[in-house]
Amino acid sequence: MSTILLDKVKTIKTLNNIAEVGLNVFNNDNFTIDNESENPDAIVLRSYNMHSMEFSNRLKAIARAGAGVNNIPVEKCTEQGIVVFNTPGANANAVKEMVLTTIMASSRNLFAGVAWTKTLVDEGDQIPKLVEAGKKQFVGKEIKGKTLGVIGLGAIGALVANDALELDMDVIGFDPFISVDTAWSLSRKVQRAMSLEQLFANSDYITVHVPLTPETKGLFNEETFGIMKDDVHILNFSRGELVNEADMKAALESGKVGKYITDFPNENVLKMKNVVPIPHLGASTKESEENCAIMAARQVKDFLETGNIKNS
């Protein structure tokens, strides 16, 4: 039994060293299936884009150490009988902490304020005066009592909703894959589940936690921005393509969107002052990488040994 690791999913190697998983692992950071690791039974990967890869007849499973599977050609895999796993929930806490961190930090203009302060030059006693100017320039707003709209009430969205309530926000939710009523009964932490239009119209902050599908692609566009409140803050820790970036640029320019916090920097909006671009750090914690790798390794091992398909 051989498994190839793409994209530095190191934890599985560690697990193997302590014989907890027992996969025969080839670590391949060059993203090629070379002679040594030729014809693996399974591939475990993080973010490498597999869409142009050819798969051998021997390949039985691909496991994504993460939630989204848009870097894997799922339809082609299904046609070839290759099972695709992801690791739902394994990085949910990391993403939740990042969402709450950035909601608060951007509301207080912390990113801009820190960047500005670092440009100050100490010439005599000028810094205290400049700091006074900064204090006026970067006045923020509190999140208490503001409405947070959570789109997607899965593992991440439900955690975000729960903790935002603890921070005294009003939380409303929508899920594209379940009805409003079901969303309401499943997610008792969300104060009110509502239609997407209602959520857009009522939110001061919107955070999105849905996979990229043909239905969710471009969810944030000229038309949906039109429904939103002025100065809405939008957080995207899901996938860049959920947002039409040209329409986002216009919405940022007009002040419709007050802040755009994105884990998927796009050159259209990257340098705008009300954009907080983040280099895909939402799920990047030691703990989450370990959780994802462990779940992926166990899924693959279980499947190769018993044929069980357990996506948890």
CB of residue 68 to ligand MLT, shortest distance in Å: 3
51 in catalytic set: no
CB of residue 91 to ligand MLT, shortest distance in Å: 5
Task: Pick the closer one to ligand MLT by CB: 11 or 91.
Answer: 91
Task: Pick the closer one to ligand MLT by CB: 91 or 224.
Answer: 91
Residue 127 burial (CB count, 10 A) = 14
DSSP for 161-205, written as a single string: HHHHHHTT-EEEEE-TTS-HHHHHHH-TTSSEE--HHHHHHH-SE
- Judged by the rule CB under 6 A, the positions of this chain that interact with ligand MLT are 46-47, 66-68, 91, 280, 283-284
Closest residue to ligand MLT in the complex (CB): 66
223 in catalytic set: no
267 in catalytic set: yes
CA distances from 137 to 20, 117, 125, 144, 172 (A): 55, 11, 20, 22, 31
- Expressed in percent and rounded to 5, the helix, strand and coil fractions of the chain are 40, 15, 45
Task: Pick the closer one to ligand MLT by CB: 66 or 154.
Answer: 66
CB neighbour burial string for 48-79, b if at least 16 within 10 angstroms, e if fewer? bebeebebeeebbbbbbbbbebebbbeeebee
CB of residue 66 to ligand MLT, shortest distance in Å: 3
Task: Pick the closer one to ligand MLT by CB: 101 or 195.
Answer: 101
Q: Which residues pair with 262 in a beta bridge?
A: 236, 277
End-to-end, the C-alpha distance of the chain in Å comes to 22
CB of residue 288 to ligand MLT, shortest distance in Å: 8
Among 239, 245, 289, 298, which one carries the catalytic annotation?
239
Among 20, 132, 166, 280, which one carries the catalytic annotation?
280
Instruction: Report, as residue numbers or ranges, the catalytic residues.
Output: 239, 267, 280
